[in-house]
Structure formats: C-alpha cells, structure tokens
C-alpha cells in the first residue's frame, strides 16, 4: 500500500462486487457521459474503480453505484444468487489515478462529495453486511 493510502485512509475499504455508471462530469467542464466501470473496493467515504478513461484529478463525476451481495448458493446448480442494491446516486471527486498499461486501464479513486441521506444509509447497510 502506498503512503497515500496508509496515511490518509480513515475508513476501511471493502472488496465488493460494484458496478459504476458514470453519467456526467460537472467540473472542470460540464458534460454528459455514459460510461460503465467495474468497482474495485468501496468505503463510506469513496470508492476505487477501473476505467479506460483517465479522468483528471479534481474532476467531479455524477455516478450511480450498485453493490452486489451474494445471498446464497443453489446446491443443485452451484449458481450463486446475488442481490444488487438500489443505485446509490452521488457526486464524487477524483483524488487519485494510477495507470495500468498492462490492461490499458486506469485505477480511479474518488471521494464522495454529495450523497443523499437515504443513499448513504443504503451504502452503510451494504458495508455492514461484511
């Protein structure tokens, strides 16, 4: 773990199945976006996801985040039955970018800036399931 994570992280991160829909950018320039990304980990203060797009540090993104929780495994078929959260809508600020040239993607870390109380409760509930 780099110094940024060790020194600045106040909240534990949880590895979850996370889908991220990036719907727009409001800073530095407003624009409509339609990008899906796969989340890597999440906490009550932000999340990390992989993206082919290198968003700039300080960019503010409009996002919908869904956390998928495995519920049970069907013993006959071996299929895992999962439940996805309602989308958690938020505005988040890009705080870190790491380029991974081997896969041609960027690891993007964001901190949540604007999350409704209801969506924050959904987030807390899903994180508490660990």
Write the pLDDT tens digit of every residue in 116-127: 988 888 888 877
- Output the six-digit token pair for 116: 């409704």
The full set of domain ranges for the chain reads 3-128
What pTM does this model have?
0.75
CATH 2.40.10.220 correct for 3-128: yes
Does position 98 have pLDDT exceeding 90, yes or no?
yes
Average pLDDT along the chain: 79
pLDDT for 87 equals 84
Run of H or E including 127? helix 117-128
């Amino acid at each position: 773990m780099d110094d940024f994570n060790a020194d600045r992280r106040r909240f534990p991160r949880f590895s979850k199945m996370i889908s991220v829909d990036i719907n727009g950018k409001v800073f530095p320039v407003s624009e409509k976006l339609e990008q899906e990304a796969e989340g890597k980990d999440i906490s009550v203060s932000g999340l990390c996801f992989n993206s082919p797009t290198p968003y700039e540090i300080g960019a503010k993104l409009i996002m919908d985040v869904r956390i998928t929780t495995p519920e049970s495994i069907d013993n006959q078929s071996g299929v895992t039955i999962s439940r996805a959260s309602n989308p958690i809508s938020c505005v988040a600020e890009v705080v870190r970018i790491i380029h991974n040239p081997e896969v041609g993607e960027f690891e993007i870390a964001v901190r949540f800036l604007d999350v409704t109380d209801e969506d924050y409760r959904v987030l807390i509930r899903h994180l508490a399931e660990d």
